[in-house]
Amino acid sequence: MSPPVIVTGAAGFIGMHVAERLMARGERVIGVDDFNAYYDPALKAARAARLEANPDFRMVRLDIAAAEAFESLVRESGAMQVVHLAAQAGVRYSIENPFAYERSNLAGHLSVMEACRRQPGFQHLVYASSSSVYGDRPQGGAGFCEDDAAAEPVSLYAATKRACELMSFAYAKLYGFPQTGLRFFTVYGPWGRPDMAYFSFTQKILAGEPIEVFGQGQMSRDFTYIDDIVDGVVGALDRPPERGSNRILNIGDSAPVGLMEMIAVLEDALGRKAEKLFRPMQPGDVTQTYADISRLRALTGYQPKVSLAEGLPRFVRWYREFYG
């Protein structure tokens, strides 16, 4: 029997979907999550219950920054692959509670790397970075490329994600085990995170409450449907770089959509119009994201399949079913 794959943040949005995909192809999965209260723990519990219905899954309630406990889990499980998705997410929350990012993102990433480098024969660590590392800068007609400078983050969240990448470069060189950092671009879909705009807009529109549209509605995002994201994560996991390497890859849709267009698609899916309150840009936010995905495509054949016009109605259907 092959060793299990460890997925950190398994009760999270992306983590749940990655774990399901791995089990669907015959893998055993150990999920790790601390079920913190950054957003509704009931949603995390529902995701975990969905996973735990599969006999190939085991959930371990654990703070990844607890280094000795996480190292013991890796060693005793015999895991040779880790998909590290656990982190304190959210750009705006990093302004309110910066020390949460120090523990979860920095100490947590270090803990995971230490456990991996101490596991004899360890094969591949895939970890979550973010498009936010690119900062807020003007674009021409091309997407952000992995070789672009990522030296001027505009939020602490972005700074911690860039720091994790740099830590991984050091550990890859020092200890040789292969690593891949994935820069995610605005992931959305069923079972998503309530702090994301499309999710909170849905809640408010259905409740008849106005929505706050920041950046005067002039922002755009490279919205990427969750199934497409999972294609890229698993494709990258299956193709580790050479030993001693930390490979950085963008993972997005490569087709930015304006915020007002996203709201219009959501209004159509909900069958309701939103009352919009236009606000200036918030501290730490960026004007546009746009992924150049040529490297991930060349490596895995990655090709996003689900447009926002198809994906947002899928989210709305899930939302109505889940929240009744």
The residue annotated as part of the active site, out of 134, 157, 188, 302, is: 157
Query: Which of 2, 31, 37 is CA-nearest to residue 18?
Result: 31
Helix 226-237 to helix 13-24 angle (10° resolution) is 60
Does 175 qualify as catalytic in the annotation? no
Query: Which of 235, 112, 227, 97 is CA-nearest to residue 164?
Result: 112
Which amino acid is residue 213, in one-letter code?
V
Gyration radius (Cα) of the chain, Å: 19
Residue 126 CA: distances (Å) to CA of 4, 91, 181, 240: 15, 22, 6, 9
- Token reading at 312: 């947002």
| Cβ atoms < 10 Å from Cβ of 45 | 12
**Residues 189 and 225: beta-carbon distance below 8 Å:** yes
How far is CA 41 from its chain centroid? 18
Residue 97 CA: distances (Å) to CA of 8, 103, 285: 22, 11, 16
**Residues 116 and 125: beta-carbon distance below 8 Å:** yes
Cα–Cα distance measured from residue 269 to residue 310, given in angstroms and rounded to the nearest whole number? 10
Active-site residue numbers? 157
